């Protein structure tokens, strides 16, 4: 169920990226795509009746069913890189506003 929601969230973000012309709305749609993608990657590793991959008692890990830890490590990296991308995109949008006085990308004219 969560996997269907994640795919629809990803496609919603892509639709928002295609339709909006305001640069802040485009960055928001990019973030929605990233949230949907991270949800999908973690849902690949889920096991019913599994526990979180942390050793809590000194009895060791024999006989316990764990959730897959590898997709969680990949999503940890992906979230931090998403922050870097968003920060740089917002700096570019602010520079465009200071120069052309509008966030709308249709009104920004390039003079080559």
Partner 1 sequence: MKNLFALFGSLLLALGIILALNNNTLFPSFGEADLTERVSGEYLTQDEIDALGSANIVTSIVVGYRGFDTLGEVTVLFISSLGVALLLGTSAKQKRLELNFKPNFMLRVGSRALFGFILLTGIYIILHGHLTPGGGFPGGVMIASAILLLYLADDQFRAKIKGFKILESISGSLYVIVGLLGMLLATYFLQNFLPVGTAGDLLSAGVIPVIYILIGLKVGSEISGIIDNFLTEEEAK
Partner 2 sequence: MFDIISLVIGVLLLVIAFLAINSKKLIQAVLFLSALSMLSVVAFVMMKAPDVAITEAVIGSGLVTSLFVFTLLSVRKGETK
For tokens 């629809």, the residue is 8
Quick one: 60 or 110, whose CB is closer to partner 1? 60
What does the DSSP 8-state code read for residue 103?
S
Determine the size of the site formed for partner 2 (CB under 8 A): 46
Find the part of the chain contacting partner 2 (CB under 8 A) among 3-11, 56-64, 104-112. 3-11
Nearest to 38, CA basis, from 10, 67, 60: 10
Find the part of the chain contacting partner 2 (CB under 8 A) among 56-64, 81-89, 104-112. 81-89
Torsion-angle region of residue 101: left (phi > 0), alpha (psi -120 to 50) or beta?
left
CA 52 to CA 54: how far, in whole Å?
Answer: 6
Q: Is the distance from CB of 66 to CB of 51 less than 8 angstroms?
A: yes
Task: Indicate which single residue of 7, 16, 104, 105 sits in contact with partner 2 (rule: CB under 8 A).
Answer: 16
Q: Which residues bind partner 2 (CB under 8 A)?
A: 1-2, 4-5, 8-9, 12-13, 15-16, 19-20, 22, 24-25, 27-29, 31-32, 35, 38-39, 42-43, 46, 50-52, 54, 67, 72, 75-76, 79-80, 83, 86-87, 90, 93-94, 97-98, 101, 103
């Amino acid at each position: 169920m969560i996997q269907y929601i994640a795919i629809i969230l990803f496609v919603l973000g892509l639709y928002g990226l295609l339709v909006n012309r305001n640069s802040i709305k485009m960055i928001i749609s990019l973030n929605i795509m990233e949230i949907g993608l991270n949800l999908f990657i973690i849902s690949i590793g889920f096991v019913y009746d599994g526990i979180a991959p942390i050793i809590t008692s000194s009895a060791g890990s024999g006989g316990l069913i764990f959730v897959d830890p590898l997709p969680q490590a990949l999503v940890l990296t992906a979230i931090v890189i998403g922050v870097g991308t968003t920060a740089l995109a917002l700096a570019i949008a602010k520079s465009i506003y200071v120069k052309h006085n509008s966030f709308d990308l249709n009104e920004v004219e390039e003079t080559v």
